[in-house]
Amino acid sequence: AALLEKPEVACDILKTLRRNLPLSCSLTCKIRMLSSTEKTRDFMRMCEASGAEAITVHMRRREERPAEPAHWDEIVRLWDAVKVPVIANGDFFTRRQIDEYWKHIKKAIPQPGAEECDEVNRHAGPVAVMVARGALWNPSIFCRTGEPPPFEEVVRKYTQAAVAANATFQNCKWVLSQVMAGGIGVTPPSAFGGVPMKTFNRQVSGARTMGAICELLGVPHQAADWPPKAHMTTFYRDGAGKAAFEAAGGGIEIADAGPNGEGDDEAVAAEPAMDGVGDGGAAKRARLAA
């Protein structure tokens, strides 16, 4: 958010990324709203001119906190500032909220008729929404039709995806803690597998390996199927992934892990790479160590 006040720095960052990234890699950015609609539109145009191929707008201003409602109406006045796709972000906690948002957009922004559409302008308004806390509290928010899967199935599928993506066990634990705690509009069940939720959450929190997490959840996991230090913060520092990191031109220093191999408290949710679930052990080792 600090870069909103330093547009020349933001511009330089985007241009530098575009120069150095392969063309096959899309460059996108996410901003907050500025003090006025026109200032936000100007900033979006600058991002587009600097190489951004899509822009996400968090519909709060820099000084506004998560407890304050997002300004959904503002995206109606922002989306057409640029020709690249615009994505809306802010206060999408349940599937119902997402559906209501799209209804609101359709009423506020008339869609062009078939005769008005061309290759550049085939859609009016934001093209998508970005979900953050809502997905942590309830991963089944992405189910568009029918009843969402049972809570325990959602938790196990996330864990399988985290294992397949070589997410660290620390990050996996953090995401699971968010899912089990719930949040706005999301109330988790009182127990998991017959164990009271608070007790079960403490058990997961105490796990020190991905295998231990999987055992608690009843998810199959064989440590021998993975390279040394897989699912740990040290994998790309001094584990089997070090060579791959260096081969990719990684000059970034990775912070030392703390006791028990844990890094800092900030965690990033693993991207659900479900296509990796079910790979054979040899394939997993080859893919991660390559």
What are the tens digits of pLDDT across the range 202-233?
A: 999 999 999 999 999 999 999 888 888 899 98
What is the pLDDT, as a whole number, of residue 253? 45
Give which of 35, 25, 37, 33 is closest to 56, Cα–Cα.
33
The percentage of residues in the chain with a pLDDT greater than 70, rounded to a whole number, is 80
**This prediction's pTM:** 0.73
Q: Say which residue, 143 or 268, is predicted with more confidence.
A: 143
User: CA quadruple 246, 252, 258, 260: dihedral positive or negative?
Assistant: negative
State the amino acid at position 279 in one-letter form.
D
What is the pLDDT, as a whole number, of residue 261? 38
Length of the chain: 290
Band of the pLDDT at 115, cuts 50, 70, 90?
A: low
d(CA 11, CA 47): 6
What is the pLDDT, as a whole number, of residue 263? 34
Is pLDDT of 116 > 60?
no
- Angle among Cα 19, 254, 169 to the nearest 5 degrees reads 115
What is the pLDDT, as a whole number, of residue 258? 37
Band of the pLDDT at 272, cuts 50, 70, 90?
A: very low
Neighbouring C-beta atoms of residue 174, cutoff 10 Å:
18
d(CA 63, CA 69): 12
